[in-house]
Amino acid sequence: MDLALLSLVLCIVGALLALSLNGSVRVVVTGIVGIAACLGALAAALRVLIDGNSVSFHSTLLLPLSGIDLTLDPLGALFVAVTSIVGIASCLYYIGYARDESGSRLSLSMFMLFLLSLLLVPMASSVMTWMFAWEIMALSSMLLITTEHRHSQAARRAALWYGVMTQLGAGSILLGFLIMTLPAHAQTFTLLEQHAGGLTSLERSAAFIFSLIGFASKAGAVPLHVWLPKAHPEAPSPISALMSGSMVALGIYGIIRVGLTLLGGGSLWWWLVVTSLGVASALFGALHATTSTDIKRLLAYSTIDVMGLVLLGVGAAGAMAATHHHEVAHLAMVASLLLIVAHSGFKGCLFLAAGAIERSTGTRNLDQLGGLLSRMRVTAIVFVVATLSVMAVPLFSGFSSEWLLFEGLLGGFISHNSATSIAMLVSVTALALTGGLTAIAFVKAFGIAFLGQPRSSNAEHARDASPTMGVAMFFLCIPSIVLGLAPGSVIPLLNRASDVGLRLHVASPLRPGAGLDLLSSRGSIEPLLILAVGVIASLGLWGLLRLVARGGVRRAAAWSSGRDVLTPRMQYTATSFAEPLQRVFVDVLRPDNDLDVTHESESRYYEQHLAFLNRVDDTIENSIYQPVIKLVRRAGTAALRLQNGSIHRYLALGFIALLVVLVVLT
Amino acid sequence: MILAATSLVYSIGTSLLQLVLLTLGAPVLLGVMDKLRARAEGRRGASVLQPLRDIRKLMSKQRLRAHFSSAVLPVAPIVLLVATVVAIAIAPLASTQPLLAPSADIYVIVYLLLTGSIALALAGLDAGTAFGGMGSSRAMTISALAEPALLVAVLALSIQAGTSNVPTIISRTLANPTMLSSPTRLLALVAILIVVIAETGRIPVDNPSTHLELTMIHEAMILEYSGADLGLVSIASAMRLGLLFALVANLFVPWGIATDTSIGGLAMGVVWLAVKTSVIGVGVSFMEVHRAKLRLFRVPELLAGGFVLSILAVVTGLVTR
């Protein structure tokens, strides 16, 4: 615990240093302190994960009335470890990235506080501590989203959306916790867990649903996701990496902690709700990722998609635990946790790479990029590794975790309960569909941004990321490769976390080893052996080619149908690449297409000017949130009539309100 | 110890045999399909060895690389070919015990094929031409819709056999052939056939012999390739076709595949593999003669049909278990 506490203190020291130092030293010192804090937290978390013993800390000094309760158990430690790994990369990246606003006192100190809260939430073991950490997380990240508020109206709007959604979510979580504290009259998690049996089943379900609303909103589950595709793109990239790799995962952590650990699993229907949230998020996120042209927006939607898959896994784990198939529950839980770890690596890396692109070209719009492969080599290499991982190409982390999830869902068919069978079928279908859609989205992201000719002069004069940024990005590639080639190496750690989450002590569902080998012998993969076969095949092919292929290589113009001009504007863009798919899913996406033709005055057969607009808005935002916003605004306008500026009227209103209160109370 | 060594040698031998068989056999299968099609249309057609000759000719030609293209263009065919080779090496084609049989998971094979598609799609975008982009965009759209249908259809088989490992699915089917007559298998068969037609780019999804801008998919994507690069793409495409046909054959008509480690069994396995794969090839080319290519935007409807059938396969499997 000492190490963990030290790292928390270091975050606070970092925040204070950020406020007091001047000039370029500020960024460097804060970054280094942040890295030290993350290393400490990582060491503490790994010790807990390897030993399996939890450590706790209680102090009455820090928070008035209730004091602060911290416990680092294997489940929390896993999330601390995830945060630390992304945190190390983000701090290092920030040193090379900070400039003007992003290097200001406010931004840097908020960055440190954000890091503190991300480490604190998984350690919190009482309601007060939890809500305290949760609120620091919400407020610091909201301020970080407004970093660029001077130049960008979008940043201000995003912060507003985020603030409203996150506060509603926090309120909902608090309500859930309050219901849980009813029988225990205590607020520490150990007591809540012991007294959870004292709740009636209605109270229990209400507590779960209220906290689920808050946590699902943080995890970006559809339809509570609207803040995510706005907030992730506007935050500075290292912050986006932390938000997507770690903060969003804490939503999942909350669901596991409250639903499975504190409330002890509950009824089957809870988990069917979680599964349906997961299915909706996975499909909606993947579909919108394919049509997004803003690279960070694309990544944000992809985060919704992956979190949807994680929710599928958690839902399956809960459903299997509720129907007493403990081994399958364990497998599904391990798969979800593996996917969380893998996701934090590749998505963190992608956000950092997107930040490097934005920094060097000044745009996030894929339609203005192109040809970056030869201009930004380091970024390109990192982007390729992370992209292959997110597309679930074999030998990378996305593949091993999605395969395990597939096996977990396949195992779920063991239950003869028709509701779970349907849930598993829908889940596997969603998993399969998102696989294909993710491939389109990321072939588009890499192909349009890095290949072909540059589509704007900014892209043409792009320069590679600074060395610190490069090192940070390479660091986050490591999980993609390690978890891809030897996923079995982390399984023992995930087992301990899953044991705590499910409150079970069942044997590992996998045989020990570098690969993944199910005990139930329903399947196995050995990525290292597949790699060996692949390497032998490549070497053989290379030798064969040297023997057979003659004729050499010559550079020539690309085929342009007989004309000798090929301008960058003739290339496919991100919009046109996704057009066929957009057409297929037109009913879901409801794109906004507008063609504006101005004819020549002499003849209608010649056009003077053509304007084409294609926009895909978030359907859920338009159909659910906008009407509510409109309603609120109308109510506000109506209430405006009460206010005419006359002091007499306000006094009268105050008097009437007082009377009403008195009448109601007596 | 000696037993383990023998079975390892047998496995390596099987994998190499499968590889050689598909490298040489798949182009010949394409030649046979073209020949049949030509005959059915009243032409004489080229020799069945023509695709092999084409590949040999391409290997000795100069490779042209477009001005703006990067390393992706030469690397993509190698990735495609290696992914296909690995899939062929570990898939149970002639015997249920090839190399790495425990890792021959259906998920692995499907995603290895997808890896190849991704590599080619990126290559299509590399030269920065409209044709390449058009081909990649269309090919990826079709793969993205075909792949889920394939996975769900195979899920139906996995639930039935209680494993996602392809060799085990096949050997359990052999042990219990009544599985084959279940509605699950039939529905899954139709779904998988639709996917295979789409993935191999045959009529009615794509026409391998067209070079018309508005209709081509695969050919548009590989338009920038020439010489040995094009040769690699062609042979890899042929091997993919052979692999998919052979997998369909073994999943739905598993008889003939070698299940023990005898040389004779393996030889019979090879013969049966050739026969079963050719029968599917003949069927497909027969259909190609009698069907017109679908409009591009009707293809998703076909694939959605396949997807629905695969879901029905799972549902019937769950109901009748």
Per CB-CB distance under 8 Å, the chain A contacts of B52 are none
Percent of chain A that is helix, strand, coil (3-state, to 5): 75, 5, 20
Per CB-CB distance under 8 Å, the chain B contacts of A443 are 118, 121-122, 125, 136, 140
Tens of pLDDT, residue by residue over A450-485, are: 999 999 999 999 999 999 999 999 999 999 999 999
Per CB-CB distance under 8 Å, the chain A contacts of B223 are 559
Residue A386 near residue A479, CB atoms below 8 Å: no
Per CB-CB distance under 8 Å, the chain B contacts of A335 are none
In sequence order, the 6+-apart residues with CB closer than 8 A to the CB of A332 are A313, A314, A316, A317, A320, A405, A408, A409, A411, A412
Distance from CA of B114 to the nearest CA of A (A): 8
Q: Does A555 touch chain B (CB under 8 A)?
A: yes
Residue B236 near residue B80, CB atoms below 8 Å: yes
DSSP code string of B116-184: HHHHHHHHHHHT--HHHHHHHHHHHHHHHHHHHHHHHHHHHHHHHHT-SBHHHHHHHHHH-GGGGGSHH
DSSP code string of A453-497: S-SSHHHHT--PPPHHHHHHHHHHHHHHHHHHH-GGGTHHHHHHH
Helices (H), A185-224: 189-195, 201-218
Distance from CA of B318 to the nearest CA of A (A): 8
Residue A208 near residue A236, CB atoms below 8 Å: no
In sequence order, the 6+-apart residues with CB closer than 8 A to the CB of A224 are A165, A169, A213, A216, A217
C-alpha angle with apex B230: A577 to B136, nearest 5 degrees?
5
Among A88-102, A127-141, A511-525, B190-204, the range scoring the smallest mean pLDDT is A511-525
Q: Is the pLDDT of residue A369 over 90?
A: yes
List the single best residue of A559, A563, A586, A587 to mutate versus B (max B Cβ within 10 A).
A559
Residue B118 near residue A439, CB atoms below 8 Å: yes
Distance from CA of A571 to the nearest CA of B (A): 5
User: pLDDT band at B1, cuts 50/70/90?
Assistant: low
Among A57-66, B89-98, B121-130, the range scoring the smallest mean pLDDT is A57-66
Distance from CA of A404 to the nearest CA of B (A): 10
With tokens 């040769």, the residue in question is B231
Give the span between the Cα atoms of A536 and A539, in whole angstroms: 5
State how beta strands A553-556 and A524-525 pair: unpaired
Of A529, A545, A577, the CB nearest to B228: A545
| Residue of chain A minimizing CA distance to B158 | A410
Residue A46: CA count within 13 A, CB half-sphere: 9
CB contact under 8 A, B155 and A452: no
Q: Does A456 touch chain B (CB under 8 A)?
A: no
Tens of pLDDT, residue by residue over B138-166, are: 999 999 999 999 999 989 999 888 899 99
Distance from CA of B40 to the nearest CA of A (A): 33
Q: ipTM of this predicted complex?
A: 0.95
With tokens 């008509």, the residue in question is B253
List the single best residue of B70, B138, B140, B321 to mutate versus A (max A Cβ within 10 A).
B140
**Angle formed by the axes of helices A2-20 and A105-120, nearest 10°:** 170
Q: Is the pLDDT of residue A316 over 90?
A: yes
| Residue of chain B minimizing CA distance to A520 | B163
pLDDT of residue A643: 81
Among A153-162, A276-285, A552-561, B141-150, the range scoring the smallest mean pLDDT is A552-561
| Longest Cα separation, chain A | 99
CA distances in angstroms from B230 to A503, A543, B65, B117, listed in the order given: 57, 18, 11, 15
Distance from CA of B235 to the nearest CA of A (A): 12
pLDDT of residue A165: 95
- For the record, the structure tokens of A589 come out as 């996406």
With tokens 């999942």, the residue in question is A252
Q: Does A9 touch chain B (CB under 8 A)?
A: no
Of A425, A452, A584, the CB nearest to B300: A584
| Residue of chain B minimizing CA distance to A583 | B297
Tens of pLDDT, residue by residue over A372-405, are: 999 999 999 999 999 999 999 999 999 999 999 9
Q: Does A65 touch chain B (CB under 8 A)?
A: no
Of A393, A523, A550, the CB nearest to B163: A523
Interface A-B: count of C-beta contacts within 8 A:
240
CB contact under 8 A, A549 and B117: no
Phi then psi dihedrals of residue A462, to 5 deg: -65, 145
Average pLDDT over residues A411-426: 89
**Angle formed by the axes of helices A418-450 and A377-390, nearest 10°:** 160
CA distances in angstroms from A552 to B75, B117, B235, listed in the order given: 16, 26, 19
Per the DSSP assignment, residues forming a β-bridge with A593 are: A614
Q: Does A460 touch chain B (CB under 8 A)?
A: no
Percent of chain B that is helix, strand, coil (3-state, to 5): 75, 0, 25
Tens of pLDDT, residue by residue over A522-567, are: 789 999 999 999 999 999 999 998 888 888 889 988 888 787 778 8
Tens of pLDDT, residue by residue over B185-244, are: 999 999 999 999 999 988 888 888 877 777 889 999 999 999 999 999 999 999 999 999
Task: Give the E-state strand segments of A544-637 in sequence order.
Answer: 553-556, 592-599, 607-615
Of A371, A403, A431, the CB nearest to B68: A371
Task: Give the E-state strand segments of B195-256 in sequence order.
Answer: none
Distance from CA of A408 to the nearest CA of B (A): 11
pLDDT of residue A602: 84
Report the percentage of chain A scoring pLDDT > 90.
74
Give the span between the Cα atoms of A532 and A615, in whole angstroms: 46
Dihedral over alpha carbons B208, B212, B213, B218 (to 10 degrees): 10
Which DSSP helix (H) or strand (E) runs through A651?
helix A647-665
Q: Residue B265 CA to chain centroid, in angstroms?
A: 24
Domain locations along chain B: 2-320
Per CB-CB distance under 8 Å, the chain B contacts of A401 are none
CB contact under 8 A, B129 and A517: no
Tens of pLDDT, residue by residue over A19-69, are: 999 888 999 999 999 999 999 999 999 999 998 888 999 888 777 778 889
Residue B105 near residue A524, CB atoms below 8 Å: yes
Tens of pLDDT, residue by residue over A610-651, are: 888 888 888 899 899 999 999 999 999 998 888 888 889 899
Q: Does A585 touch chain B (CB under 8 A)?
A: no
Which DSSP helix (H) or strand (E) runs through B28?
helix B2-40
Give the span between the Cα atoms of A94 and A28, in whole angstroms: 9
Q: Does A391 touch chain B (CB under 8 A)?
A: yes
> Looking at residue A621, what DSSP letter applies?
I
User: pLDDT band at A101, cuts 50/70/90?
Assistant: confident
| Residue of chain B minimizing CA distance to A553 | B63
Tens of pLDDT, residue by residue over A225-257, are: 999 999 999 999 999 999 999 999 999 999 999
Average pLDDT over residues A562-574: 85
Looking at per-residue pLDDT, the higher value among B214 and B82 belongs to B82
- For the record, the structure tokens of B225 come out as 């390739």
CB contact under 8 A, A583 and B297: yes
List the single best residue of B99, B131, B138, B141 to mutate versus A (max A Cβ within 10 A).
B141
pLDDT of residue B162: 87
CB contact under 8 A, A572 and B228: no
DSSP code string of A45-104: HHHHHHH---EEEEESSSSTTT-EEEEE-HHHHHHHHHHHHHHHHHHHHHHHH--GGGGS
Name residue A115's amino acid: L
| Residue of chain A minimizing CA distance to B56 | A548
User: pLDDT band at A359, cuts 50/70/90?
Assistant: very high
Which own/partner contact pairs does A323-326 have at CB distance under 8 Å and 24+ positions apart? Answer: A323/A268, A323/A415, A323/A417, A323/A420, A325/A411, A325/A412, A325/A414, A325/A415, A326/A502, A326/A504, A326/A506
Average pLDDT over residues A498-507: 87
The SS3 of residue B46 is coil
CA distances in angstroms from A660 to A67, A570, A641, A664, listed in the order given: 38, 70, 21, 6
Per CB-CB distance under 8 Å, the chain A contacts of B115 are 393-394
